[in-house]
Structure 1
């Protein structure tokens, strides 16, 4: 069947007649015709490689491809599974069609064809189902390019993709399986799942049911905890998506693997005074996770307050105050942002919680003759703070402390 002929007129309909007569349009059309109607496999593969190259480099070719190319390439993905090279080429071409090209000569308000292509491809749930099915293929590049396509679609058509993936049997399961794949695929899957779980409570629950917590902390440990690279940051962003305003997921984390793996990320190891930019980001992301647990869930959830109290109680039982005091008070080599975030967490842990307040009141810092109550050290920060932010963070600890038991502040 000649798939191209049925779509020749669509270019003018979608993008305007001025594009349909361009050289790029004619070239793209000829390549699609060779892919769709070619007899020799090698010629079809060659046409696919040429198509990928021109779509990756030409703004006009992206426009033309958006109107004519998707039916042809989706047909290849559906019917040519035995031709691995052709499938690879089709997927790489789709990646190029969805990747914005810097088009400096065009008007500032001109719509990017890559965004229009994203919209066109994501309109049909059948396309998403077909792409997800490719994740079970053995070829590395097929899985890798497929994840890149899905991530591009999620970036620009998040709600539509979320709705589509929810309706596809084992759709999320296939994505979760990618976290156990090779490192490059795993990292791409992390980015995809981060986009997928944003403001999507139903998807968040399914992802957790599929073992997300265990997989996330396994990757964080493998990558070196807070000393790890951007992969650790991606893991923590995904974790925070799963816990934000979601009391049931917080409860599952607490009652299954517990908080130990999370708290251990804050433990300073080796050259503790060395805070690279990435380590700072990782520590701050972990403190964001602690904050989410101390919130307990969304205001609309009936069990939020009970969950919040339980989370805070367990965190202190797991010696969270010790780690926070190390980061916020003792580690003066830590960046100001880390010290401030840790101090604010201390204040939130003791606010309205007499047992935790008492635990903080009994904490001492320093060694040998330099030992002093932790509250004295925090008071010194208030008196000698080098920045307004640090003063306010330390002041927050004292205000939280005094609200519960004013006798300590008399």
Structure 2
């Protein structure tokens, strides 16, 4: 213990005979050392000590050291060690206690001793607000994404994720204002090494080339950086049409679908799920991106995802991945989209064979109820108001002996009280979509309800 105390005294520059300083006094002396010391080694030791203290004394370090830490990022960029200490400390301040990011490449939660300064979820929001008020701070982080050193680049991604979680809009605006900001982020997706949200979006938007810089992360060869870049995109693309458009035109669709293919489509892990969430964010209620997705022939690239062999083992992750893919498909043909967009996407889905694959899943055996329900909803919106698709669906037969029309089998399941309620509602929706603007289908249904001529004579 004496040895450890003497070590702290060396860092703080205090006399070992004096009384033990308070935490606030300790942080103050460390900050003074970071700002005033002319020796890089002294500043590095002080940053290391601040990092250690920030794990437990988040409030004290955040209140006094944030300016000093950003000063380090601006002026000591040539030393990756002190940079990593500064970024990690900011991560603890913004996001609370987490694993040491530079020493453990796989982030797993570690229980920490509860303290008043570390436990408050609002603390991170308050510190984030202070940090993003100066848009150059977010710009500085985007610049650090160009640093290839793992100890700098990955913590920088984690810090941006924390900022986006706390102040999404501000960070989005900052990134959009930074030239090439989204491109930098997208480059991370190619890496093969494994509280008011809107505010951070605004900061990112206001930083020139910010979005492009972020897109670069998708090209990083380290999977752990690429995967965290995906998490960053999940937050960044939420409910901000401007960022969604920029990300899409930074080649996001290509990169995301390439990752999905590399990971094994529906058989992939949580990385596939993250890619599909980003796709959904980019496409939902964004007609510009929907047109871009259709015209770029990306709908055709979804087909391998729907190849479901017989006797498939449905793991929880596989089911989740397929559910998100079905939701992506529904996003393109949603009744809430402009009619022209929905109609053109419906046409491509029929011509490319995507509707056929959906119908094969619909009629397959052993499909989990939630997957079947979402597939019925997807088929419903692909055929809704589209005569050619409705006509095709009327020819689909269930694999029964003798074969029965799929619509009849679905209606039989709708009136079966043993079926899940959500599935029965989906079948009703499918029936409504089949009849919507479908005069021939309506006439055929009416004909089945009328008595035949022989029945009339018998009466």
CA displacement at 1:111 relative to structure 2: 6.1
Q: Determine if the alignment matches structure 1 residue 339 to structure 2 residue 372.
A: yes
In 2, Cα distance between the equivalents of 1:383 and 1:169? 58
In 2, Cα distance between the equivalents of 1:110 and 1:186? 30
CA displacement at 1:388 relative to structure 2: 1.6
In 1, Cα distance between the equivalents of 2:235 and 2:141? 17
Q: Which whole-Å deviations, capped at 9, do the CAs of 1:113-168 have from their partners, x for residues lacking one?
A: 22221111111101011111111112112111111111111111111111111111
Q: Which whole-Å deviations, capped at 9, do the CAs of 1:55-100 have from their partners, x for residues lacking one?
A: 01x2xx3222222211111111111111111111111111111123
Q: Determine if the alignment matches structure 1 residue 263 to structure 2 residue 308.
A: no
Give 1:145-294 correspondences, 5 Å limit.
145-170=155-180, 171-181=210-220, 182-269=222-309, 272-294=311-333
In 2, Cα distance between the equivalents of 1:116 and 1:82? 30
Q: How many residues align?
A: 379
8 Å CA contact 2:333–2:381 kept in 1: the answer is yes
CA displacement at 1:307 relative to structure 2: 1.0
Q: Determine if the alignment matches structure 1 residue 378 to structure 2 residue 374.
A: no
CA displacement at 1:265 relative to structure 2: 1.4
CA displacement at 1:400 relative to structure 2: 2.5
In 2, Cα distance between the equivalents of 1:106 and 1:37? 30
In 2, Cα distance between the equivalents of 1:239 and 1:339? 22
CA displacement at 1:253 relative to structure 2: 0.9
Range with greater deviation from structure 2 (43-52 or 334-343): 43-52
Give 1:109-120 correspondences, 5 Å limit.
112-120=122-130
Q: Determine if the alignment matches structure 1 residue 127 to structure 2 residue 166.
A: no
Other-structure match for 2:34: 35
8 Å CA contact 2:77–2:83 kept in 1: the answer is yes
In 1, Cα distance between the equivalents of 2:424 and 2:172? 43
Other-structure match for 1:7: none
Q: 1:144 aligns with which of 145, 148, 154?
A: 154
In 1, Cα distance between the equivalents of 2:169 and 2:29? 35
In 2, Cα distance between the equivalents of 1:196 and 1:103? 31
In 1, Cα distance between the equivalents of 2:235 and 2:311? 32
Q: Determine if the alignment matches structure 1 residue 77 to structure 2 residue 63.
A: no
Q: Determine if the alignment matches structure 1 residue 328 to structure 2 residue 370.
A: no
Other-structure match for 2:394: 361
**Secondary structure of 2:179's partner?**
coil
8 Å CA contact 1:98–1:117 kept in 2: the answer is yes
Q: Determine if the alignment matches structure 1 residue 390 to structure 2 residue 423.
A: yes
Other-structure match for 2:443: 407
In 1, Cα distance between the equivalents of 2:258 and 2:96? 34
Q: Determine if the alignment matches structure 1 residue 93 to structure 2 residue 89.
A: yes
Over 3 Å counting, the alpha-carbon distance change for 1:381 and 1:209 in structure 2 is same
Range with greater deviation from structure 2 (391-400 or 132-141): 391-400
8 Å CA contact 1:329–1:377 kept in 2: the answer is no
**Secondary structure of 1:265's partner?**
helix
Other-structure match for 1:26: 25
Q: Determine if the alignment matches structure 1 residue 305 to structure 2 residue 339.
A: yes
Over 3 Å counting, the alpha-carbon distance change for 1:111 and 1:84 in structure 2 is closer
Range with greater deviation from structure 2 (149-158 or 370-379): 370-379
In 1, Cα distance between the equivalents of 2:294 and 2:47? 51
CA displacement at 1:339 relative to structure 2: 0.5
CA displacement at 1:337 relative to structure 2: 1.0
How does the TM-score come out when normalised to structure 1? 0.86
**Secondary structure of 1:136's partner?**
coil
CA displacement at 1:326 relative to structure 2: 2.9
More helix by share: 1
In 2, Cα distance between the equivalents of 1:262 and 1:372? 29
CA displacement at 1:296 relative to structure 2: 6.7
8 Å CA contact 1:158–1:195 kept in 2: the answer is yes
CA displacement at 1:406 relative to structure 2: 1.3
8 Å CA contact 2:300–2:352 kept in 1: the answer is yes
CA displacement at 1:196 relative to structure 2: 1.0
